A and B are shown apart, each in its own frame.
Chain A
Amino acid sequence: MGAFEYRQALEIRDVFSRHGVRYLFIGKSGAILLGYPDTTQDADLFPDKSPINTRAVVAALRELGFSLSDAEAAEIERGKDFVQLRNGPFDVDLVFAPDGIERFGDAWERRVDVEGFPVCHPDDIIASKAAANRVKDRESLPRLRAFRDYWVAQRQRGSS
């Protein structure tokens, strides 16, 4: 399997949209969509955990080419908080309950649209990494916070 590609991100966007999935890009993949220059491996998606949405996620993943057994699909539909998928055309982590974010609806209200991709606000990406408090997050947070400040200043400059 090769690296995650732009065309695969487009497929997620289009297929998830067709199935009516409510989700956000989160983590470093979300930051990269916002313009953060760094490297990562997989796409982290934060879907709404409502039953109707988890069923739509399963249908969308199958259409994208993920080979989910009925048992695996049921685990997603039942609303496991964290699902790691390595059985499709690219690697995806489904993070239904990211650290540091209370409710999907709050993050959804703050979302940023990047060429049709729904992305968590940088403050939410930072909050989730700060709350996770892993070694790799600690290392990346100062640069990510600097990027957030840069991104906010750019937006303010663009709207003035």
Chain B
Amino acid sequence: MEKIFLYKVYRYNKKLFFFFLAFAGFSLFCNFAGFEITPFYVWGMYSQKETQPKEYPVFKITANKKLVDYTTGYFPANRFFLLSPLSYYASVKTPEDPTGIFLNEKLGKKYEWAKPYADKVLNSPKEFDKFPGWFKNYIGQTTGEKVQSLKVELFLVSYENNNSIKIDSVHTLIDEK
């Protein structure tokens, strides 16, 4: 018993003990529930079962008629900020925030209770409309050049006999001149 970390903390300082106990308890609860509440993190780390997709999405970003190859030459955080908001924008099928749709499905009628708050937190169609303009500015920040024209295309690609990658279809997401 005396070797147990929390017991030692309890002997030394009860406030600290309850702080650690609460943190550990909430962390375990969040992990059992699979529900993250910062700072009680769920450390999944690629534990979701992957499914074989028919195609893989690849974004082609062209700024001032030059390719922005975000896959090389940029710091990881920069790549994250170039790609992740774009993927989110591309995933939106309707002007409604996907989190709102998710909550509506999960909570059913109870969502009415959360909706006034959700309207303040989730993105409105106006914010989705503003995204291409913001992305243009952020590309400019990243490349160090003022962006006059921006084109973002979504390529759906697949592997050919595992030796090369072929384009199956192309969709234009943003075309700002």
Q: Please indicate whether A and B come from the same complex rather than being unrelated chains.
A: no
